[in-house]
Amino acid sequence: MRFNDAVVGTAFLLLAGAMIAMTFTFPAFPGQKYGPSLFPRIIGGGIILCSVLLMLREWRGGGRPLLVLDAWARRPGRLASFALMLAAMVFYILASEPLGFMPTAFLIQLVLFLWFGVRPITALIVASVMTIAVQYFFGSLMRVPLPRGILDSVL
């Protein structure tokens, strides 16, 4: 699947515009000429510049369709796998706070492993080990506060 560069450029242009608009809510530091909004605005400006260049290059080349589907996108099983990956991300966003990182990550991995044909016992073992490893790495070593959810009293 390949989007036209003008479509991609427009999407990034809108994203950068939203990012820059959000920086206007950042607090200013008293006595300083710049604050926490400076670098996101610089990055947003760079993204806007690159987006405009991408759109101009596509418009000069002209005539390509907005979306070209590759062979894999025409197979229903592959589209279902793609949709399942998107659903897993949405599930994590919605369920990680109430359930916690560990149950959510375990469920996502288990479902994906089973969907992609991994044997059930292997899927259970790998999902368990990887969930614990990621929790340890990010939660303990990197000190990233992962959602605890229903396991708050245990972790």
SS3 string, the chain, reads CEECHHHHHHHHHHHHHHHHHHHCCCCCCCCCCCCCCHHHHHHHHHHHHHHHHHHHHHHHHCCCCCEECCHHHHCHHHHHHHHHHHHHHHHHHHHHHHHCHHHHHHHHHHHHHHHCCCCHHHHHHHHHHHHHHHHHHHHHHCCCCCCCHHHCCCC
Examine the pLDDT at 91 and tell me if it is beyond 70: yes
- CB under 8 Å, gap of 24 or more: what pairs does 53-60 form? 53/9, 54/5, 54/6, 54/8, 54/9, 54/12, 55/5, 55/6, 55/9, 55/10, 55/13, 57/5, 58/4, 58/5, 58/6, 58/9, 59/6
Residue-wise pLDDT for 108-140, tens only, equals: 999 999 999 999 999 999 999 999 999 999 988
**Residue 16 and residue 54 in contact, taking contact as beta carbons nearer than 8 Å:** no
The CA angle 47-52-53, to the nearest 5 degrees, is 100
Residue-wise pLDDT for 96-111, tens only, equals: 999 999 999 999 999 9
pTM of the model: 0.63
- Which segment of 45-49, 54-58, 69-73 scores lowest on mean pLDDT? 69-73
Type of residue found at 27: P
- Mean pLDDT within 78-106: 95
**Residue 120 and residue 114 in contact, taking contact as beta carbons nearer than 8 Å:** yes
**Average pLDDT for the chain:** 90
% of the chain beyond a pLDDT of 90: 60
Type of residue found at 111: V
